[in-house]
Amino acid sequence: MILVLKQGTDRDSIDRLCDWLTTKYGVKTNPIIGSEATIVGLVGDTSHIAPQEIEVHEEVERIVKVQEPYKRANRKFHPDNTIIKIGNEEIGGNKIAVAAGPCAVESEEQIVELAQLVKEAGAGLLRGGAFKPRTSPYSFQGMRAEGMLYLHRASNKSGLPVVTEITNPSQIELFIDYADIIQVGARNMQNFELLKELGRVDKPILLKRGFSNSINELLMSAEYIMSEGNSRVILCERGIRTFETSTRNTLDISAIPVLKSKTHLPVIVDPSHAAGYASLVEPLAMAAIAAGADGLEIEVHQNPKLALSDGPQSLTPDVFTALMKKLSVIAKACGREI
């Protein structure tokens, strides 16, 4: 349930109304003072609330029922776009954020060099995997805590905030110390115990859509995080599993405008995992920006042929630099910048 308040309602009146709602009905209140309207979202069991009891309050203009099961992630609860700030970077604003780096950290020298190279090309965030959940138990599983330390050193030297993937709640303390954005991979999108723990962390969470999950399921996973108090969630479309075998996954471009209509949270795209092939990353990245994505996550490696993880979909630094120039043109045509 959402209460749309009359224009000009002051903060003291909003607080008094919220206190009354919590005391009388036992619901949590989520006041949002937007550019065009002020609303109060009610979270909890609202089935026993009689609208006429609320409508008598002079601050209330109208009541809107929310049918969707996700509440805090719902655009009805938060009409304005959420902009998430990480250092000097923003995700969700006019500037398109780009995170770039290797699928996996392989050495300190590798990640430090790559951080500088992608920064020079225009990336504002450094991505890299220290803990690698792989389909095969025999594949490279990452450098783990040592890789986190190398990412941290690369961040300090380059000035780029770090995006890296968590795989287990036991790793949270390490990620609090060494990560700027904690990524939840596709395989963990519905690891609800992990999501609830991350909801109590004061770090932005990048939540990737699962291989076979619907958009509503992605939003419900975001709701798990937000219900615990962490509202800084970034959604990522990274391709879904279909009958098509020409690509690693099928990038759901339509998910971008659909998500933008349903939620206020930023939406980014990972064209590398969707494509599976470096030659396809450029057109998919360009399409994502044209469709309204707030950012991109792109894999870059000095020598993809020797990469320990996902070499075929990784761009070389030179190719990434050329791509960034093309993406700048697309962004400008869409009234944005990169």
Q: What share of the chain is helix, strand, coil (3-state, %, to 5)?
A: 40, 20, 40
Picking from 47, 60, 73, 56, the residue whose alpha carbon sits closest to that of residue 217 is: 73
Burial of 226 (0-12, 13-18, 19+ CB in 10 A): buried
CATH superfamily of 2-64: Phospho-2-dehydro-3-deoxyheptonate aldolase; domain 1 (3.30.70.1140)
The structure's pTM equals 0.90
Could you give the 3-state DSSP secondary structure of residue 252? coil
217, with CB counted inside 10 A (0-12, 13-18, 19+), is middle
Provide the token pair at 264.
Answer: 């206020």
CB of 81 closer than 8 Å to CB of 45: no
Phi/psi of residue 25, nearest 5 degrees: -115, -10
Tokens 């303390």 correspond to 173
Phi and psi for 219 in degrees, rounded to 5?
Answer: -65, -35
Bridge partners (DSSP) listed for residue 85 = 90
Q: In sequence order, what are the beta bridge partners of 60?
A: 5
CATH fold for domain 84-333: TIM Barrel (3.20.20)
Which sequence spans correspond to the domains of the chain? 2-64, 84-333
DSSP letter assigned to residue 333: H
A 10 A CB-CB count for 23 gives: 8
**β-sheet bridge partners, residue 74:** 263
Residue 201's alpha-carbon distances to 133, 189, 191, 220, 243, in angstroms, are 22, 17, 16, 18, 38
Per-residue pLDDT tens, the chain, 338 aa: give them. Answer: 889 998 889 899 999 999 999 998 998 898 888 777 788 988 888 888 888 889 888 899 889 888 888 989 999 888 889 999 998 899 999 999 999 999 999 999 999 999 999 999 999 999 999 997 766 776 777 788 999 999 999 999 999 999 999 999 999 999 999 999 999 999 999 999 999 999 999 999 999 999 999 999 999 999 999 999 999 999 999 999 999 999 999 999 999 999 999 999 999 999 999 999 999 999 999 999 999 999 999 999 999 999 998 999 999 999 999 999 999 999 999 999 99
pLDDT tens digits along 244-256: 999 999 999 999 9
Extract the tokens encoding 4: 């749309």
